[in-house]
Amino acid sequence: MLRVGPGLAADFIFCPVVRSFSLQYLCLETMDSCDTPESTPRQRASSRLKDYFIGATPLQKRLESVRRQTSFVPTPPRRKIPQCSQLQEDVDPQKVAFLLHKQWTLYSLTPLYKFSYTNLKEYSKLLGAFIAAEKQKGLAVEVGEDFNIKVIFSALLGMKGTQRDPEAFLVQILSKSQLPSENREGKVLWTGWFCCIFGDSLLETVSEDFTCLPLFLANGAETNTAMIGTWFQKTFDCYFSPLAINAYNLSWMAAMWTACKMDHYMATTEFLWSVPCSPQRLDISYAIHPEDAKALWDSVHKTPGEVTQEEVDLFMDCLYSHFHRHFKIHLSATRLVRVSTSVASAHTDGKIKILCHKYLIGVLAYLTELAIFQIE
Amino acid sequence: MSVLRPLDKLPGLNTATILLVGTEDALLQQLADAMLKEDCASELKVHLAKSLPLPSSVTRPRIDLIMFVVNLHSKYSLRNVEESLHHVDATFFLGKVGFLATGAGRESHCSVHRNTVVKLAHTYRSPLLFCDLEVAQCFVGLSPGCGHGTAYQATLRQHPTCHS
């Protein structure tokens, strides 16, 4: 495994390689078969002249503006840098501390049918009975397993982006203590929570009977996750699917999390690439001092408060070209597999670990967006 | 710097030459082999190139069609194609150029967003085909997921001299 240590950061000379789309101006005499509503440059110029001199009719002007606006190529996304949201101020840091520093496996979940927040106790009992039954059936056989388990459903207050987002809730499986003492809390065996942060695009499309909580995070044994998934699918007619994060989204996360302002950095910024070669896979790990990464980002960043596609590409290209200068390896031909910053770390298999309480909502907002995209 | 021009040589009698440009050697080789196996009315020649400009020391027939292959799993292949496009004469884009985006089937491995390639093809007014050359099966149509056969058929259909 090739490793680039933080020592390299000392002589971190980045060459801002400007990579913009080469929009070659092609003067085409004939229009090709794919009919585009966008007018050719010559037509646009002539119509502008027409407007100026002759005074085009309102209909012509309206047609021109419509033609210019509609283009079947969607514009690249612009995303907001995660900030401390208003609602997060209400969240007690102590209460959500157990969500941090834990590795969560991500799933996307379709809306739940006829889910009610008032029936949480009833759901706890039903799920507990289901799990006990499954374990007795011998489907999840673990030798010496204590059958005394307790399931707790609880609401997670404050874990939402806007007021419209449904309330997040938490499911925990605790092992019931054998001793009769009341004070002994059982050990937490499995934790899972459902949330929806800024899920407006999904909330608009579903009716009243459905509760939209597209993001599901699980920590614990895979067998428990499968059992609970089955119960939810049967009870609420929903569907779980594992949420994988591709290299494109990982590079967006890297840029957005590097852009977050931090008082002190807890961890180095680290990237992991997987090189597809035979017979054995090669992994390349690239670690940068977080302040250097932030300095690089600040030089690339232009519009305050927003992240654009060009900035993300430029940020990653700077890292690639620096690596290429030293090792003559094109990292852009490999696959980005893991990104780790002081804010959070994400793996392409859909595993996430959030390290910073301040940007918890911001990280979850992006993950919710990915989950909604997968559902649709 | 030599620029590829479509009409600078005389056409070969009853032959068609296709140039595939892309960084993924193995995939290009597979596609070329599949193309040559298929039936074609005229004689088909397939040239492979990693990037443009082509070395001028070699004599080659007139290129009738250029297909730029972009691997959606690798940003490097996209940059390579973007740089190669500079060495193609503007008149080539009148129906003699196409883009092939491979790897669209495995969304989890994609480093390049689909819209980036769509925008590139739109800028150059050339058709874009999505396929997955690594998968042997054949999927449907011009949206993400075709196999060798469909990609080849669509490529050939663009070329007027080949009827299959």
CA atoms of B108 and A246, how far apart (whole Å):
4
Residue A371: name the closest of A217, A225, A251 by CA. Answer: A217
Three-state SS across A169-218?
A: EEEEEEECCCCCCCCCCCCEEEEEEEEECCCHHHHCCCCCCEECCCEEEE
Residue range A311-332: mean pLDDT, rounded: 92
Question: pTM for the full model?
Answer: 0.75
Q: How many helices (H) and strands (E) in chain A?
A: 10, 16
Residue range A56-65: mean pLDDT, rounded: 61
Determine, for residues A246 and B124 on separate chains, whether the beta-carbon distance falls below 8 Å.
no
Q: How far is CA A181 from CA A124, A145, A173, A185, in A?
A: 22, 21, 19, 9
CA atoms of A236 and A176, how far apart (whole Å):
27
- CA-nearest residue of chain A to B81? A22
Determine, for residues B125 and A26 on separate chains, whether the beta-carbon distance falls below 8 Å.
yes
CA atoms of A29 and A42, how far apart (whole Å):
10
Q: What is the average pLDDT score of chain A? A: 76
Residue A17 CB contacts under 8 Å (≥ 6 apart), including other chains? A314, A317, A318, A321
Of the listed ranges A10-19, A182-191, A282-291, B64-73, the least confidently predicted one is: A10-19
Position B42 scores a pLDDT of: 82
Q: Which residues in chain B have Cβ-Cβ distances shorter than 8 Å to A21? A: 82, 119-120, 123
Determine, for residues A74 and B115 on separate chains, whether the beta-carbon distance falls below 8 Å.
yes
Determine, for residues B111 and A247 on separate chains, whether the beta-carbon distance falls below 8 Å.
yes
**A175 within 8 A of A221, measured Cβ to Cβ:** no
Determine, for residues B73 and A19 on separate chains, whether the beta-carbon distance falls below 8 Å.
no
Pairing of β B15-21 and β B65-71: parallel
Residue B87, helix vs strand vs coil: helix
Residues 114-133 of B with CB under 8 A from A: 115-116, 118-120, 122-125, 127
Helical pair B148-158 and B25-37, crossing angle rounded to 10 deg: 70
Q: What is the average pLDDT score of chain B? A: 79
Helical pair A247-259 and A290-300, crossing angle rounded to 10 deg: 100
- CA-nearest residue of chain A to B84? A22
Of the listed ranges A66-70, A162-166, A263-267, B59-63, the least confidently predicted one is: A66-70
Decide which of A261 and A53 is more confident.
A261
Determine, for residues A26 and B85 on separate chains, whether the beta-carbon distance falls below 8 Å.
no
Residues 242-261 of A with CB under 8 A from B: 244-248, 251
Measured over the CA atoms of residue A253, residue A255, residue A258 and residue A261, the dihedral's sign is: negative
Question: Sorting pLDDT into bands at 50, 70 and 90, what band is A149?
Answer: confident
Burial class (CB in 10 A: 0-12, 13-18, 19+), A348: buried
Write the single-letter amino acid at B94: L
Q: Which residues in chain A have Cβ-Cβ distances shorter than 8 Å to B111? A: 246-248, 251, 332, 335-336
Nearest C-alpha of chain B: how many angstroms from A332? Answer: 5
End-to-end CA distance of chain B: 36
Element (H, E) at A134: helix A120-137
Cross-strand partners of A92: none
For chain B, the residue count is: 164
Residue A272 CB contacts under 8 Å (≥ 6 apart), including other chains? A283, A284, A285, A286, A336, A337, A338, A339, A340
pLDDT in tens, A257-289: 998 888 888 888 999 999 877 778 889 999 999
Determine, for residues A333 and B74 on separate chains, whether the beta-carbon distance falls below 8 Å.
yes
Position A201 scores a pLDDT of: 82
CA atoms of A33 and A48, how far apart (whole Å):
26
Determine, for residues A76 and B115 on separate chains, whether the beta-carbon distance falls below 8 Å.
yes
* A94 has a chain B CB within 8 A of its CB: no
Determine, for residues A335 and B111 on separate chains, whether the beta-carbon distance falls below 8 Å.
yes
**What is the strand order of the sheet B43-49 is part of?**
B43-49, B15-21, B65-71, B97-102, B128-131
CA atoms of A147 and A267, how far apart (whole Å):
40
* B99 has a chain A CB within 8 A of its CB: no
Structure tokens at A87: 């609602």
Question: Sorting pLDDT into bands at 50, 70 and 90, what band is B135?
Answer: low
Helical pair A290-300 and A309-327, crossing angle rounded to 10 deg: 130
Residues 18-37 of B with CB under 8 A from A: 23
Residue range A207-234: mean pLDDT, rounded: 90
Task: Please spell the DSSP secondary structure of A87-115, one letter per residue.
Answer: GGGGS-HHHHGGGTTSEEEEEEEPPEET-
Q: Which residues in chain A have Cβ-Cβ distances shorter than 8 Å to B79? A: 19, 332
Residues 305-364 of A with CB under 8 A from B: 316, 330, 332-336, 348
Q: What is the ipTM of this complex?
A: 0.76
* A278 has a chain B CB within 8 A of its CB: no
Pairing of β A103-109 and β A240-242: antiparallel
Write the single-letter amino acid at A144: G
Q: Among A21, A246, A334, whose Cβ lies nearest the Cβ of B107?
A: A246
Determine, for residues B119 and A34 on separate chains, whether the beta-carbon distance falls below 8 Å.
no
Q: Which residues in chain B have Cβ-Cβ distances shorter than 8 Å to A247? A: 73, 109-111
Q: Among A28, A32, A248, whose Cβ lies nearest the Cβ of B112?
A: A248
Determine, for residues A332 and B79 on separate chains, whether the beta-carbon distance falls below 8 Å.
yes
CA atoms of A211 and A283, how far apart (whole Å):
41
Nearest C-alpha of chain A: how many angstroms from B27? Answer: 14
Cross-strand partners of A240: A109
